[in-house]
Structure 1
Amino acid sequence: MNTLKIGENTFELAESIKKDLKASKNLEILKCIQCGMCTSVCPAARHTDYDPREIVKRALDNDKNLIKDDIIWDCFYCYTCHSVCPVNNSPCEVNQILKQKSIENGVGKPKVAPFSEYAESYLECGLGTIPSCFFDDLIKDYGKEWLELKDKLEDIREELGLGSMPLPEKDVNDINKILEKTGFTKRLERIRRCMNEKNTR
């Protein structure tokens, strides 16, 4: 049970979410009535312990441990909860902001580190590819057929009359210029540094 202190802002976390730069102007987290509509339609809630209603309740209860909780990483932003909320709250959006707070706090960095491989593939070949650290899970979920499909993808594309997946070098260079100008490359460099710091500890 939380003990309230005189003058304490019990909505500090919820208000910081509402004021966040990434929050929609009409995000109504403070109007949440805990009806559970979001949880009733959430695919992640159906298959994991993730509960969008509970996430919002904990944010409203000023539970700052929420940004350290692995459960926030089970939301995959389908926005189904957003579409049914009667007060125009968006647990999905709340969750995105919580994840960003987790990353900024240093707790969430290991969660996003594997995706640096996805980002690296943009620099190398101009296309996003599935990080190799996810291969085992994909084989477990879809069977060895997934790996066979991946290995034979170029042949399949040729049979279907589609072009080759790898882009011409000129296009890759153009994409790299765009990534440089938009700050993507600089952000990726920060992720690399975080990963190196983690590996040297």
Structure 2
Amino acid sequence: MNTFKIGEDTFELAESIKKDLKASKNLGILKCIQCGMCTSVCPAARHTNYDPREIVKRALDNDKNLITDDIIWDCFYCYTCHSVCPVNNSPCEVNQILRQNAIENGVGKPKIAPFSAYGDSFIEFGLGAIPNDFFDDLIKDYGKEWLELKVNLEDIREELGLGPILLPEKDVNDINEILEKTGFKNRLKKIKQCKSEE
């Protein structure tokens, strides 16, 4: 049982989540009644130890260890929890903000480092593309048909009357300038350093 002390900022973590730039204007974290609706529909809760109700409870309990807990990386970001909450809370959004805090504090960078190849695809192509690093797993999961689709994609698109999937070089250069000015490239470089330290 929690004991509240007069003058203690009991909801400091929850308040910081609510005020975060990435939080929805009407995020209902402070209204959470711990009904468990979020957990009852959560696919991550069905397949892992992740429990969105518990994440919100720990945030309301000011448990700052949340950002170092591996459990925050099990959320699928499907927003199913958000769709059923009677007080307009979004454990998924709360979790995203916790992950961002983990990344900013350095503890989350190793978790996202394997996905830095997606960032490289934005730089190279100006859009998201499945990095080569993941091809073997996709072939294993979906069979050689996936590779055939990937290799023949341009021909298939042309046959369907669709334009090329790749952006013109000028657009890629414009996107790269945006990625540079917004700090994306610098941040990606720092994340890759975590990957090389593994």
Change (3 A) 1:12 1:195: same
Query: 5+ unaligned residues in a row in structure 2: which ranges?
Result: none
The equivalent of 2:18 in structure 1 is: 18
- The residue aligned with 1:196 is 193
Deviation of 1:127 after TM superposition, in Å, equals: 2.2
Q: Is the 8 A contact 2:20 2:97 kept in 1?
A: yes
Q: Who is 2:117 aligned against? A: 117
Cα 1:116/1:88, change in 2 over 3 Å: same
Write the distance in 2 (CA, Å) between the matches of 1:9 and 1:138: 48
1:174 aligns with 2:174: yes
The equivalent residue for 1:152 is 152
Which portions of structure 1, spanning 4 or more consecutive aligned residues, are displaced by more than 4 angstroms? 2-8
Residues paired across the two proteins, number = 197
Return the offset for 1:6: 4.7
* 8 Å contact from structure 1 (residues 56, 94) kept in 2: yes
Distance 2:134 2:67 in 1: 24
Deviations 1:131-167 (A, max 9, x none): 2333344334323332232222223223222223233
Structure 1 residues 134 and 51 mapped into 2: Cα distance closer, same or farther (>3 Å)?
Answer: farther
Inter-CA distance 49–143: structure 2 relative to 1 (3 Å threshold)? farther
How big is each residue's C-alpha offset from its partner over 1:157-186, in whole Å with a ceiling of 9 and x where there is no partner?
2322222323332232233334345x1xx2
Residues 90-99 or 66-75, more deviating: 66-75
**Following the alignment from structure 2 to structure 1, what is the Cα–Cα distance between the partners of residues 167 and 21?**
36
The alignment's TM-score, normalised by the length of structure 2, stands at: 0.84
The answer to whether the 8 A contact 2:179-2:185 is kept is: no
Cα distance in 2 between the residues matched to 1:172 and 1:191: 17
